[in-house]
Amino acid sequence: MGAGPAALCISAELIQKGLNVSALASHSPDKPWPNTYGIWAEELDLLGMSSLLRHRWKDTVSYFGNGNNKGGDAPIIHDFDYGLFDQEAFQNSLLEKCSGMEWLIETANEIRYVDQITEVVCISGNIYRARIVIDASGHSSRFIRRPNHGSVAQQAAYGVVGRFSLPPVDKDQFVLMDFRPDHLTEKELKEPPSFLYAMDFGQDLFFVEETSLACAPPVSLSTLRKRLLARLSHRGIKIEEIVHEEHCLFPMNLPLPYRNQPLLAFGGSASMVHPASGYMVGALLRRAPALAKELSESLSIDPALDSSELAEKGWKVLWTTELIQRHRLYQFGLKRLMSFEEELLRSFFATFFKLPKKDWSRFLANTLPFPKLVLVMFKLFIISPIKVKLGMMGLVFY
């Protein structure tokens, strides 16, 4: 169910396993995805998929105002390639793998279980039956049940692809986080922090996006737009042409779904967004094969398995104990970060990127085994300034 990256990633793998798959989505799968997806290039190199990148930057930096309240323009050099998907190529390559699959252009309205088999009731009134349904309908799925842990932090961003009176970043450069606060008023410095995510697309085209990593309630898009314009104007930059505007809002710490439900999920609906960074596409590509393998092997061993039995097997592979442990640790970290005021946050990130590259990059990709993740977080604690240490322990009060 769905036609976003999660639906296509999992469908492609299920089809490769020879399963009989139909997809149901509100719109045609050829409709271009609305978001621009970025990823650390190494994640795609390891999957042999880096040809799907439209842009790849070698000059990748962040600015944390030296991590102190004196400001400062010295960048932290990541020396690690970052890429942006060629949206069309990525979507088409997954659709090619799904070739032959039936597409039902319908909107699901209700999901019910009849004789242990799943029925999807659509707004049109049509009903479809399946041995198992995988809900890949995004972060706000109405069908997946999950506990209520109170308010959910959202990542929010306002971005512009456009032409500017002066280059907002250096030629051929990618800026992961520009947290420099020198354009903010005293009052704004006390509000939830945001940073600039920016890149040079070439041919005088740049993408600049003011981003709030995670906040509950979310920072409004109008505030982010205002901050972006103030940040640019402080550097004497005007937007001359808007080619595309991006509005971004999605949950960072959605509770994990109940794993005893007969409906399986994948992608945003399965809370697969990395709670510390907001990235998910790499995880979709890495985690889809194991889920497809499990479903196909389970069905070949026992072709009579019903929705509940299959979903139980699927949930166990999708959210292994190891992945749940890591997820909880990341969520704990995020909660702490959300309590940091802007100077502390800058100091935290300046320290984070002092970790060895193999540690911070695998932390961000969620590819560190749990014991190693604990070790890296411990290392981070050790090398942090005392104020950040206190913040991590929840001992900073404002």
Ligand X SMILES: Cc1cc2nc3c(=O)[nH]c(=O)nc-3n(C[C@H](O)[C@H](O)[C@H](O)COP(=O)(O)OP(=O)(O)OC[C@H]3O[C@@H](n4cnc5c(N)ncnc54)[C@H](O)[C@@H]3O)c2cc1C
Q: Which residues bind ligand X (CB under 6 A)?
A: 1-7, 24-27, 35, 37-39, 107-108, 136-138, 246, 248, 250, 267-268, 273, 278-281
Contact 147, 258 (CB under 8 A): yes
* 3-class DSSP state of 316: helix
Nearest approach, Cβ of 270 to ligand X (angstroms)? 8
Of 161 and 305, nearer to ligand X (C-beta) is: 161
DSSP 256: P
Query: Of all residues in the chain, what percent are helix, strand and coil, respectively (each to 5)?
Result: 35, 25, 40
Q: What are phi and psi of 107, to 5 degrees?
A: -110, 125
- Pick the closer one to ligand X by CB: 38 or 193: 38
Find out whether 159 and 210 touch, Cβ atoms under 8 Å: yes
**Which residues, 6+ apart, have CB-to-CB distance to 67 below 8 Å?**
346, 347, 349, 350, 351, 385
CB-wise, 44 or 305, nearer to ligand X?
44
Closest C-alpha among 59, 136, 51, 58 to residue 85 = 51
CB nearer to ligand X: pick between 24 and 198: 24
Report in angstroms how near the CB of residue 252 gets to ligand X at its nearest.
Answer: 10
User: What is the enclosing helix (H) or strand (E) of 96?
Assistant: helix 87-97
Q: How far is the CB of 261 from ligand X (least distance, A)?
A: 17
| Shortest Cβ 92–ligand X spacing (Å) | 15
Q: How far is the CB of 314 from ligand X (least distance, A)?
A: 16
d(CA 46, CA 49) in angstroms, rounded, equals: 8
User: Which amino acid is residue 346, in one-letter code?
Assistant: R
Smaller CB separation from ligand X, 24 or 53: 24
248 and 218 Cβ atoms separated by less than 8 Å: no
Measure the CA–CA gap between 226 and 306, rounded to whole angstroms.
Answer: 52
Amino acid at 57: W
CB of 138 to ligand X, least distance (A): 3
CA separation for the pair 330, 149 (Å, rounded): 16
Which residues does residue 214 pair with via DSSP β-bridges, in sequence order?
none
Q: Which is nearer to ligand X, 181 or 268 (CB)?
A: 268
Residue facing ligand X at closest CB distance: 4
Give min distance, CB of 227 to ligand X, in A.
17
Residue closer to ligand X (CB basis): 137 or 384: 137
- Supply the minimum distance, in Å, between the C-beta of residue 296 and ligand X: 21
For residue 299, give the H/E element and its range: helix 281-301
State the minimum distance, in angstroms, from the CB of residue 382 to ligand X: 30
Residues paired with residue 60 on neighbouring β-strands, in sequence order: 174
Cα-atom radius of gyration of the chain, to the nearest Å?
A: 22
